[in-house]
Amino acid sequence: MSSNLSKNTTKKILVTGGAGYIGSHTCVELLNDGHEIIVLDNLSNSSEESLKRVQEITGKTLEFVKGDIRDHKLLNSLFSNHEIASVIHFAGLKAVGESVSMPLAYYDNNVNGTLVLLEAMKQANVKTLVFSSSATVYGDPASLPISEDFPTSATNPYGRSKLMIEEILQDLHVSDNSWRIALLRYFNPVGAHPSGRIGEDPNDIPNNLMPYIAQVAIGKLDKLSVFGNDYPTHDGTGVRDYIHVVDLSLGHVRAIEKLQKTAGIHAWNLGVGKGYSVLEMVAAFEQASQQPVPYQFAPRRSGDIAACYANPEKALNELGWKAEKGVDDMVSDSWRWQSVNPNGYHS
Protein backbone atom coordinates (compact mmCIF):
# COMPACT_ATOMS: atom_id res chain seq x y z
CA MET A 1 0.00 0.00 0.00
CA SER A 2 1.42 3.43 -0.84
CA SER A 3 0.36 7.03 -0.91
CA ASN A 4 2.95 7.80 -3.56
CA LEU A 5 1.43 10.15 -6.13
CA SER A 6 4.16 9.63 -8.74
CA LYS A 7 3.16 9.24 -12.40
CA ASN A 8 1.69 5.88 -13.15
CA THR A 9 0.44 4.90 -16.57
CA THR A 10 -1.81 1.89 -15.98
CA LYS A 11 -5.54 2.69 -16.31
CA LYS A 12 -7.07 2.63 -12.89
CA ILE A 13 -10.34 2.99 -11.05
CA LEU A 14 -10.43 5.65 -8.35
CA VAL A 15 -12.57 4.42 -5.44
CA THR A 16 -13.62 7.22 -3.11
CA GLY A 17 -14.68 5.99 0.33
CA GLY A 18 -13.07 2.64 -0.49
CA ALA A 19 -12.04 1.93 3.12
CA GLY A 20 -15.69 1.93 4.26
CA TYR A 21 -18.18 -0.91 4.54
CA ILE A 22 -19.42 -1.21 0.95
CA GLY A 23 -16.25 0.28 -0.54
CA SER A 24 -13.93 -2.31 1.02
CA HIS A 25 -16.08 -5.20 -0.22
CA THR A 26 -16.19 -3.65 -3.69
CA CYS A 27 -12.39 -3.29 -3.68
CA VAL A 28 -12.17 -7.07 -3.13
CA GLU A 29 -14.40 -7.78 -6.14
CA LEU A 30 -12.62 -5.22 -8.35
CA LEU A 31 -9.20 -6.68 -7.51
CA ASN A 32 -10.52 -10.22 -8.03
CA ASP A 33 -11.77 -9.07 -11.43
CA GLY A 34 -8.29 -7.82 -12.39
CA HIS A 35 -8.80 -4.05 -11.98
CA GLU A 36 -6.14 -1.73 -10.61
CA ILE A 37 -7.48 0.60 -7.96
CA ILE A 38 -6.60 3.70 -6.00
CA VAL A 39 -8.60 4.32 -2.83
CA LEU A 40 -9.16 7.88 -1.63
CA ASP A 41 -10.63 8.02 1.88
CA ASN A 42 -10.33 10.48 4.77
CA LEU A 43 -10.94 7.61 7.25
CA SER A 44 -13.66 9.66 8.99
CA ASN A 45 -15.79 6.52 9.28
CA SER A 46 -13.32 3.72 8.60
CA SER A 47 -9.84 2.45 9.28
CA GLU A 48 -6.92 1.60 7.02
CA GLU A 49 -7.01 -1.89 8.51
CA SER A 50 -9.94 -2.72 6.18
CA LEU A 51 -7.68 -2.09 3.17
CA LYS A 52 -4.88 -4.21 4.61
CA ARG A 53 -7.40 -7.02 4.88
CA VAL A 54 -8.73 -6.43 1.35
CA GLN A 55 -5.18 -7.04 0.10
CA GLU A 56 -4.78 -10.08 2.32
CA ILE A 57 -8.08 -11.60 1.03
CA THR A 58 -7.24 -11.00 -2.62
CA GLY A 59 -3.45 -11.43 -2.55
CA LYS A 60 -3.31 -8.23 -4.64
CA THR A 61 -2.23 -4.70 -3.87
CA LEU A 62 -4.02 -1.39 -4.09
CA GLU A 63 -2.90 2.18 -3.64
CA PHE A 64 -4.28 4.15 -0.74
CA VAL A 65 -4.37 7.93 -0.51
CA LYS A 66 -5.56 9.37 2.76
CA GLY A 67 -7.45 12.53 1.90
CA ASP A 68 -10.74 14.29 1.45
CA ILE A 69 -12.87 14.47 -1.68
CA ARG A 70 -13.34 18.20 -0.94
CA ASP A 71 -9.60 18.84 -1.33
CA HIS A 72 -9.39 20.36 -4.85
CA LYS A 73 -5.60 20.33 -4.97
CA LEU A 74 -5.31 16.71 -3.93
CA LEU A 75 -7.91 15.61 -6.49
CA ASN A 76 -6.24 17.51 -9.30
CA SER A 77 -2.89 15.94 -8.45
CA LEU A 78 -4.45 12.48 -8.25
CA PHE A 79 -5.95 12.83 -11.73
CA SER A 80 -2.82 14.32 -13.24
CA ASN A 81 -0.45 11.78 -11.70
CA HIS A 82 -2.42 8.64 -12.51
CA GLU A 83 -4.13 7.30 -15.60
CA ILE A 84 -7.58 7.07 -14.05
CA ALA A 85 -10.25 5.67 -16.36
CA SER A 86 -13.27 5.82 -14.06
CA VAL A 87 -14.45 6.61 -10.55
CA ILE A 88 -16.61 4.67 -8.12
CA HIS A 89 -17.84 7.22 -5.62
CA PHE A 90 -18.77 5.89 -2.16
CA ALA A 91 -17.39 8.71 -0.01
CA GLY A 92 -19.98 10.52 2.06
CA LEU A 93 -21.85 10.60 5.33
CA LYS A 94 -24.75 8.20 5.67
CA ALA A 95 -26.59 8.40 9.01
CA VAL A 96 -30.15 9.63 8.54
CA GLY A 97 -30.68 10.83 12.14
CA GLU A 98 -27.34 12.63 12.25
CA SER A 99 -28.18 14.36 8.97
CA VAL A 100 -31.23 15.93 10.62
CA SER A 101 -29.09 17.46 13.37
CA MET A 102 -26.06 18.29 11.15
CA PRO A 103 -27.52 19.17 7.73
CA LEU A 104 -24.65 21.47 6.75
CA ALA A 105 -22.07 18.74 7.33
CA TYR A 106 -24.13 16.40 5.13
CA TYR A 107 -24.56 18.89 2.29
CA ASP A 108 -20.88 19.81 2.51
CA ASN A 109 -19.53 16.24 2.54
CA ASN A 110 -22.00 14.71 0.14
CA VAL A 111 -23.06 17.46 -2.27
CA ASN A 112 -20.08 19.82 -2.16
CA GLY A 113 -17.68 16.85 -2.02
CA THR A 114 -19.27 15.40 -5.16
CA LEU A 115 -19.05 18.79 -6.92
CA VAL A 116 -15.33 19.02 -6.19
CA LEU A 117 -14.85 15.47 -7.46
CA LEU A 118 -16.86 16.13 -10.64
CA GLU A 119 -14.93 19.32 -11.38
CA ALA A 120 -11.62 17.44 -11.08
CA MET A 121 -12.96 14.62 -13.28
CA LYS A 122 -14.13 17.11 -15.90
CA GLN A 123 -10.75 18.86 -15.95
CA ALA A 124 -8.98 15.53 -16.35
CA ASN A 125 -11.47 14.37 -19.00
CA VAL A 126 -12.45 11.35 -16.88
CA LYS A 127 -16.17 10.98 -17.49
CA THR A 128 -17.13 7.56 -16.19
CA LEU A 129 -18.73 7.52 -12.74
CA VAL A 130 -20.55 4.99 -10.59
CA PHE A 131 -22.42 6.77 -7.81
CA SER A 132 -23.69 5.25 -4.53
CA SER A 133 -27.31 6.28 -4.44
CA SER A 134 -29.98 4.81 -2.23
CA ALA A 135 -33.53 3.48 -2.24
CA THR A 136 -34.19 6.41 0.09
CA VAL A 137 -34.65 8.52 -3.10
CA TYR A 138 -38.02 6.78 -3.60
CA GLY A 139 -39.40 8.28 -0.37
CA ASP A 140 -42.57 6.46 0.67
CA PRO A 141 -43.47 4.58 -2.53
CA ALA A 142 -47.10 4.41 -3.68
CA SER A 143 -46.77 0.70 -4.51
CA LEU A 144 -44.33 -2.21 -4.37
CA PRO A 145 -42.03 -3.47 -5.78
CA ILE A 146 -40.19 -0.25 -6.63
CA SER A 147 -38.99 0.31 -10.21
CA GLU A 148 -36.45 2.90 -11.31
CA ASP A 149 -39.11 5.06 -12.99
CA PHE A 150 -41.01 5.61 -9.72
CA PRO A 151 -41.22 9.23 -8.55
CA THR A 152 -38.40 10.40 -6.27
CA SER A 153 -38.57 12.46 -3.08
CA ALA A 154 -36.68 12.96 0.17
CA THR A 155 -37.69 13.36 3.79
CA ASN A 156 -34.35 14.16 5.47
CA PRO A 157 -31.07 15.93 4.61
CA TYR A 158 -29.25 12.64 3.93
CA GLY A 159 -31.86 11.54 1.40
CA ARG A 160 -32.02 15.04 -0.07
CA SER A 161 -28.23 15.04 -0.54
CA LYS A 162 -28.50 11.78 -2.56
CA LEU A 163 -31.36 13.18 -4.62
CA MET A 164 -29.53 16.47 -5.24
CA ILE A 165 -26.46 14.56 -6.44
CA GLU A 166 -28.60 12.44 -8.78
CA GLU A 167 -30.10 15.65 -10.20
CA ILE A 168 -26.68 17.31 -10.55
CA LEU A 169 -25.48 14.24 -12.44
CA GLN A 170 -28.53 14.38 -14.74
CA ASP A 171 -27.77 18.06 -15.49
CA LEU A 172 -24.12 17.25 -16.09
CA HIS A 173 -25.11 14.61 -18.63
CA VAL A 174 -27.46 17.05 -20.38
CA SER A 175 -24.57 19.51 -20.69
CA ASP A 176 -22.20 16.88 -22.11
CA ASN A 177 -23.59 13.54 -23.22
CA SER A 178 -20.19 11.88 -23.34
CA TRP A 179 -20.47 11.28 -19.57
CA ARG A 180 -21.17 7.68 -18.57
CA ILE A 181 -22.92 7.58 -15.21
CA ALA A 182 -24.47 4.83 -13.12
CA LEU A 183 -26.81 5.78 -10.27
CA LEU A 184 -26.84 2.62 -8.17
CA ARG A 185 -29.80 2.71 -5.82
CA TYR A 186 -28.95 0.33 -3.00
CA PHE A 187 -31.69 -1.23 -0.91
CA ASN A 188 -30.52 -2.45 2.54
CA PRO A 189 -26.91 -3.66 2.40
CA VAL A 190 -26.05 -6.24 5.10
CA GLY A 191 -23.70 -9.16 5.72
CA ALA A 192 -19.95 -9.35 5.41
CA HIS A 193 -17.26 -11.03 3.33
CA PRO A 194 -17.47 -14.83 3.90
CA SER A 195 -13.82 -14.82 5.04
CA GLY A 196 -14.90 -12.97 8.22
CA ARG A 197 -12.02 -10.52 7.66
CA ILE A 198 -13.98 -7.44 6.52
CA GLY A 199 -17.43 -6.23 7.52
CA GLU A 200 -19.45 -3.32 8.85
CA ASP A 201 -17.71 -1.55 11.74
CA PRO A 202 -19.94 1.23 13.11
CA ASN A 203 -18.10 3.86 15.15
CA ASP A 204 -20.86 4.18 17.69
CA ILE A 205 -24.10 2.44 18.65
CA PRO A 206 -25.41 1.19 15.30
CA ASN A 207 -28.38 2.93 13.66
CA ASN A 208 -29.12 0.11 11.26
CA LEU A 209 -30.92 -3.09 12.11
CA MET A 210 -28.37 -5.75 11.20
CA PRO A 211 -25.31 -4.40 13.06
CA TYR A 212 -27.56 -3.68 16.03
CA ILE A 213 -28.84 -7.28 16.09
CA ALA A 214 -25.25 -8.56 15.77
CA GLN A 215 -24.14 -6.51 18.79
CA VAL A 216 -27.08 -7.79 20.84
CA ALA A 217 -26.21 -11.37 19.89
CA ILE A 218 -22.58 -10.93 21.00
CA GLY A 219 -23.71 -9.30 24.27
CA LYS A 220 -22.42 -5.76 23.62
CA LEU A 221 -25.96 -4.39 23.64
CA ASP A 222 -28.78 -5.59 25.91
CA LYS A 223 -31.74 -5.80 23.63
CA LEU A 224 -33.07 -4.65 20.31
CA SER A 225 -35.85 -2.06 20.16
CA VAL A 226 -38.17 -3.06 17.33
CA PHE A 227 -39.43 0.25 15.97
CA GLY A 228 -43.16 -0.30 15.47
CA ASN A 229 -45.31 -3.43 15.50
CA ASP A 230 -48.44 -1.88 14.00
CA TYR A 231 -47.34 -1.41 10.38
CA PRO A 232 -49.62 -2.83 7.69
CA THR A 233 -47.20 -5.73 7.10
CA HIS A 234 -47.69 -9.45 7.73
CA ASP A 235 -46.34 -9.30 11.32
CA GLY A 236 -46.67 -5.56 11.97
CA THR A 237 -42.92 -4.81 11.79
CA GLY A 238 -41.11 -2.95 9.02
CA VAL A 239 -40.25 -4.83 5.82
CA ARG A 240 -37.05 -4.19 3.84
CA ASP A 241 -35.11 -5.63 0.92
CA TYR A 242 -31.86 -6.81 2.56
CA ILE A 243 -29.04 -7.40 0.09
CA HIS A 244 -25.74 -9.15 0.79
CA VAL A 245 -22.84 -6.71 0.52
CA VAL A 246 -20.89 -9.12 -1.73
CA ASP A 247 -23.79 -9.21 -4.22
CA LEU A 248 -24.00 -5.43 -4.02
CA SER A 249 -20.26 -5.14 -4.69
CA LEU A 250 -20.52 -7.37 -7.75
CA GLY A 251 -23.22 -4.99 -9.01
CA HIS A 252 -20.55 -2.26 -9.12
CA VAL A 253 -18.21 -4.43 -11.18
CA ARG A 254 -21.04 -5.11 -13.66
CA ALA A 255 -21.92 -1.39 -13.76
CA ILE A 256 -18.31 -0.38 -14.56
CA GLU A 257 -18.20 -2.98 -17.35
CA LYS A 258 -21.52 -1.73 -18.74
CA LEU A 259 -20.37 1.91 -18.73
CA GLN A 260 -17.26 0.93 -20.69
CA LYS A 261 -19.63 -0.15 -23.48
CA THR A 262 -22.47 2.37 -23.19
CA ALA A 263 -22.62 6.13 -22.68
CA GLY A 264 -25.55 7.78 -20.91
CA ILE A 265 -26.88 8.09 -17.40
CA HIS A 266 -28.66 5.10 -15.94
CA ALA A 267 -30.38 4.36 -12.64
CA TRP A 268 -30.27 0.75 -11.47
CA ASN A 269 -31.87 -0.73 -8.37
CA LEU A 270 -29.54 -3.07 -6.50
CA GLY A 271 -31.85 -5.17 -4.38
CA VAL A 272 -32.96 -8.78 -4.10
CA GLY A 273 -36.62 -8.08 -4.82
CA LYS A 274 -37.93 -9.70 -1.61
CA GLY A 275 -38.97 -8.11 1.65
CA TYR A 276 -38.22 -9.45 5.13
CA SER A 277 -39.67 -8.10 8.38
CA VAL A 278 -37.66 -7.07 11.44
CA LEU A 279 -38.89 -10.14 13.32
CA GLU A 280 -37.92 -12.44 10.43
CA MET A 281 -34.40 -10.99 10.47
CA VAL A 282 -34.18 -11.48 14.25
CA ALA A 283 -35.30 -15.12 13.91
CA ALA A 284 -32.83 -15.78 11.07
CA PHE A 285 -29.99 -14.27 13.10
CA GLU A 286 -30.83 -16.34 16.18
CA GLN A 287 -30.84 -19.44 14.02
CA ALA A 288 -27.45 -18.69 12.43
CA SER A 289 -25.72 -17.56 15.60
CA GLN A 290 -27.40 -19.95 18.03
CA GLN A 291 -27.54 -16.90 20.33
CA PRO A 292 -30.67 -15.27 21.73
CA VAL A 293 -31.53 -11.79 20.42
CA PRO A 294 -33.83 -10.31 23.06
CA TYR A 295 -36.08 -7.51 21.82
CA GLN A 296 -38.83 -5.19 22.94
CA PHE A 297 -41.40 -3.35 20.88
CA ALA A 298 -40.86 0.42 20.78
CA PRO A 299 -42.67 3.27 19.03
CA ARG A 300 -42.18 3.74 15.31
CA ARG A 301 -38.98 5.58 14.37
CA SER A 302 -39.71 8.95 12.84
CA GLY A 303 -39.37 8.94 9.05
CA ASP A 304 -39.56 5.13 8.68
CA ILE A 305 -41.84 3.61 6.07
CA ALA A 306 -43.77 0.35 6.42
CA ALA A 307 -42.26 -1.59 3.55
CA CYS A 308 -39.72 -1.22 0.78
CA TYR A 309 -38.43 -3.69 -1.77
CA ALA A 310 -37.01 -3.49 -5.25
CA ASN A 311 -37.99 -4.57 -8.67
CA PRO A 312 -34.46 -5.65 -9.69
CA GLU A 313 -35.38 -6.59 -13.32
CA LYS A 314 -33.67 -3.61 -14.96
CA ALA A 315 -30.29 -4.52 -13.45
CA LEU A 316 -30.80 -8.12 -14.56
CA ASN A 317 -31.73 -7.14 -18.12
CA GLU A 318 -29.15 -4.42 -18.63
CA LEU A 319 -26.23 -5.42 -16.38
CA GLY A 320 -26.74 -9.17 -16.30
CA TRP A 321 -26.61 -8.79 -12.50
CA LYS A 322 -28.77 -10.49 -9.95
CA ALA A 323 -28.35 -11.01 -6.21
CA GLU A 324 -27.44 -14.64 -5.54
CA LYS A 325 -27.19 -14.77 -1.75
CA GLY A 326 -30.13 -15.30 0.56
CA VAL A 327 -30.95 -14.22 4.11
CA ASP A 328 -29.14 -17.27 5.54
CA ASP A 329 -25.87 -16.13 3.94
CA MET A 330 -26.47 -12.57 5.11
CA VAL A 331 -26.97 -13.48 8.76
CA SER A 332 -24.31 -16.18 8.95
CA ASP A 333 -21.66 -13.95 7.32
CA SER A 334 -22.67 -11.06 9.53
CA TRP A 335 -22.37 -13.28 12.61
CA ARG A 336 -18.96 -14.63 11.53
CA TRP A 337 -17.64 -11.07 11.13
CA GLN A 338 -19.11 -9.98 14.48
CA SER A 339 -17.96 -13.00 16.47
CA VAL A 340 -14.42 -13.09 15.08
CA ASN A 341 -14.04 -9.29 15.37
CA PRO A 342 -16.15 -8.34 18.41
CA ASN A 343 -14.67 -4.83 18.37
CA GLY A 344 -14.55 -4.52 14.60
CA TYR A 345 -11.16 -3.51 13.20
CA HIS A 346 -9.99 -2.60 16.71
CA SER A 347 -10.32 -6.20 17.91
The answer to whether 332 and 190 have CB atoms below 8 angstroms apart is no
107 labelled catalytic? no
Find all residues with CB under 8 Å of 132, minimum gap 6, and list them: 17, 22, 89, 90, 92, 184, 186
Among residues 78, 96, 126, 245, which is the contact residue for ligand WQD, using CB under 6 A?
96
- Which of ligand WQD, ligand NAD, none lies near 131, with the C-beta cut-off 5 to 8 A by kind? none
Nearer to ligand WQD, 119 or 140 (CB): 140
Binding residues with ligand NAD: total (CB under 6 A): 27
Q: Among the candidate windows 57-65, 76-84, 109-117, 223-231, which touches ligand WQD by CB under 6 A?
A: 223-231
Choosing from 107, 158, 186, 231, which is the catalytic residue? 158
Residue 238 touching ligand WQD (CB under 6 A): yes
Site residues for ligand WQD, 134-163, by CB under 6 A, read 134, 136
Q: Kindly tell me which residue out of 102, 154, 227, 283 binds ligand WQD, with binding defined by CB under 6 A.
A: 227
Q: Which stretch binds ligand NAD (CB under 6 A): 44-52, 145-153, 173-181, 339-347?
A: 44-52
Which residue lies nearest ligand NAD, judged by its C-beta? 20
103-162 residues in contact with ligand NAD (CB under 6 A) are: 109, 113, 132, 134
Nearer to ligand WQD, 195 or 225 (CB): 225
Catalytic residue IDs: 158
